[in-house]
Amino acid sequence: MDQQTEEKQMGKRGFLDLYSKKQLDLTLNHKQPDKIVVDFGSTAVTGIHVLTVERLREHYALEKKPVRVIEPYQMLGLIEDDLIDALGIDVIGVWGQDNMFGYNNLPPLKLFRTFWGQEVLVPDKFSTQTDEKGDLLSFPSGDQSVKPSAKMPLNGYFFDAIERQGPINDENPDVEDNLEEFTPVTDEALQYWKKEAALARSSGKGVVAGFGGTALGDIAFVPGMQLKHPRGIRSVAEWYMSTILRRDYVEKVFDRQSALAVENLSKLFAVVGNNIDVAFLCGTDFGTQDSTFCSPEQFDDLWLPYYRRINDWIHSNTSWKTFKHSCGAVENFMGRFIDAGFDIINPVQVSAKGMDPKHLKETYGKHLTFWGGGINTQKTLPYGTTQMVREEVLRYCDIFSKDGGFVFNAVHNIQANVPVENVEAMFDAVKEFNSH
C-alpha cells in the first residue's frame, strides 16, 4: 500500500500518529529520528498544571470547557486530543485506575472550583474540607471520617502530603507495615490495563504506562496518602534516616516490593503485551540542586540490585524501555542508572550542579535516553523572555538530539502561572528545530 492510499484509509490524524510512534522507536534505540519527539502529559512528572492547560486551550482557540484533573496531588491537567495536535505532542500516557489519594480517578467526574477561581473536573470521590486557616484538606480514599492525608495551602496550586507517622517499633519491626499499599494486581485491574493499553496503541502515538508498585522509596509515596491508617515508616525524614539506621529493614522492604513488582509485571505483560513502549518505573529522587541524598556507594548497595531485578525481567521478557525519574545533581549516578538497567532518565535537571548537557550527552548518551532537559522550568520558562526561551530550547535540542536518545520535555512539570507566551515559544522553538 502506498503512502497516499494508507493516509486516506487511516485518516490524516492516524497517519501522523504512526509517524510519531516510528520516531519514538528510533529515538529510544539511539538512531537518528526525522524529528525530535515531544512529550507533555504522559506521566506525573512530564505534565502541565491545570491552569496552564486551560490557558493554552484559550490561547490556541480550542473548545472552551473545564479541564479534567488527571493527577490531583499535583493538579496536573489532561491534555486532550485537540491540544495534543496543536502542540505537536507525540507520546500519550496510560494512567492507572486509582490516584495517589487512593480512590478511582475515572469518570464519573464533577465540577470543582479551585482557590485561583478555575472550574475543573475532578473524580467523584474527590473529597475536601477547608481548615481554620482556609487551607484545603484531602482525605485518603475520600473518607472524611479519618485524618486528612494532604493539604493545599490557601495560596497554593497543588497539594502537600500530611505526615501521619505513628510510633515505630524498633524492637520488632514488621516489614509488612511498609508494604501495605503494595499488593498483587487484581483481575479487574488487569482488564482495565488491557483495554486502555490497546486503546492507546490504536492511536499510533508512542505509549507510556505507569503501572505502579515499582518506586522503591519514592518520597512522594512514603507518607501513604492513600492509606487511612498508615503503618511503618511514614515520615520523609525518618525514611531517609532509616536507609542508614534501619538498613536491614529497608532492604527487606525493597526485596519484597521488587519481587511482587516482577510478579505483577508478568501478569500485566500477559494482557498488555507490547501495546506500550515505555514503563514508567520509578520517581525516587536522588539529587538536590547541588548534591545527592546518598552516596553512590550506598545507591550501589541498597537500590541498584532491586532496580536491576525489575529491569532485567522487563528486558528479558518484553520490548519495553524503562523510565527512571530523578531530580537534581545526579551526574555521578548516571552510570549507576545504566548499570541498574534503566533506559531513560528524566527530567535531566540542567540547572543543577554538574548537569551540563554537553557532558551528559557525550558521556552517557549512547546508553541513556534523556527525557526532558529541554527548558529550565525554574528560571527561563517562568521568568525569561520569549526570545530567551527560544534560544535555550534550540541550544539544548542541538546538544541532546544528535543520534537519537532525546525526548523533548521541560525540566519537570510546567507549573501554574507560567506565561502562556513562553510556553508557546517553547513549542514553536521545537517545531522550528524540527523543520531544519
Q: What is the mean pLDDT of residues 179-192?
A: 97
Q: What CA–CA distance (Å, rounded) separates 378 from 356?
A: 16
Between the CA of residue 343 and those of 230, 258, 327, 336, 434, what are the distances in Å? 33, 18, 16, 12, 24
Residue 338, Cβ density class (10 Å: 0-12 exposed, 13-18 middle, ≥19 buried)? middle
Co-location of 59 and 171 in the same domain: no
> Contact 271/249 with Cβ under 8 angstroms?
no
**Grid coordinates standing for 75?**
493538579
- CATH label of the domain that carries residue 368: 3.20.20.210
Q: Domain containing 414: what range?
A: 10-46+79-98+166-434
Co-location of 126 and 221 in the same domain: no
Co-location of 363 and 378 in the same domain: yes
Number of compact structural domains in the chain: 2
Backbone angles phi, psi at 385, to 5 degrees: -85, 165
Residue 1 belongs to some domain of the structure: no
> Contact 218/282 with Cβ under 8 angstroms?
yes
Residue 308, Cβ density class (10 Å: 0-12 exposed, 13-18 middle, ≥19 buried)? middle
Residue 319 belongs to some domain of the structure: yes
Q: What CA–CA distance (Å, rounded) separates 195 from 192?
A: 5
> Contact 57/63 with Cβ under 8 angstroms?
yes
Given 138, 165, 192, the domain boundary residue is 165
Residue 2 belongs to some domain of the structure: no
Co-location of 416 and 348 in the same domain: yes
Greatest alpha-carbon span in the chain: 71
Residue 26 belongs to some domain of the structure: yes
Using pLDDT thresholds of 50, 70 and 90, give the confidence band for residue 260: very high
Residue type, 196: E
Backbone angles phi, psi at 111, to 5 degrees: -80, 145
Residue 281 belongs to some domain of the structure: yes
Co-location of 156 and 146 in the same domain: yes
Co-location of 128 and 200 in the same domain: no
Given 165, 186, 210, the domain boundary residue is 165
The closest of 435, 391, 23, 392 to 205, measured between CA atoms, is 23
Co-location of 55 and 202 in the same domain: no
Co-location of 401 and 292 in the same domain: yes
pLDDT in tens, 366-377: 999 999 999 999
Residue 261 belongs to some domain of the structure: yes
Mean pLDDT score across all residues of the chain: 95
pLDDT in tens, 308-336: 999 999 999 999 999 999 999 999 999 99
Residue 184 CB-half CA count within 13 A: 4
Residue type, 91: V
Residue 138 CB-half CA count within 13 A: 29
**φ/ψ bin of 153: left (φ > 0), alpha (ψ from -120 to 50), beta (otherwise):** beta
pLDDT in tens, 62-76: 999 999 999 999 999
Co-location of 141 and 126 in the same domain: yes
Co-location of 61 and 92 in the same domain: no
Q: What CA–CA distance (Å, rounded) separates 53 from 41?
A: 10
Co-location of 336 and 360 in the same domain: yes
Burial 214-230 (b: 16+ CB within 10 A, else e): bbbbeebbbbbbbbeeb
Using pLDDT thresholds of 50, 70 and 90, give the confidence band for residue 436: confident
Residue 198 belongs to some domain of the structure: yes
Residue 3 belongs to some domain of the structure: no
Co-location of 190 and 205 in the same domain: yes
The closest of 357, 366, 372, 434 to 404, measured between CA atoms, is 366
pTM over 0.85: yes
Given 165, 188, 211, the domain boundary residue is 165
The closest of 62, 40, 154, 70 to 409, measured between CA atoms, is 40
Residue 184, Cβ density class (10 Å: 0-12 exposed, 13-18 middle, ≥19 buried)? exposed
pLDDT in tens, 391-418: 999 999 999 999 999 999 999 999 999 9
The pLDDT of residue 17 is 54
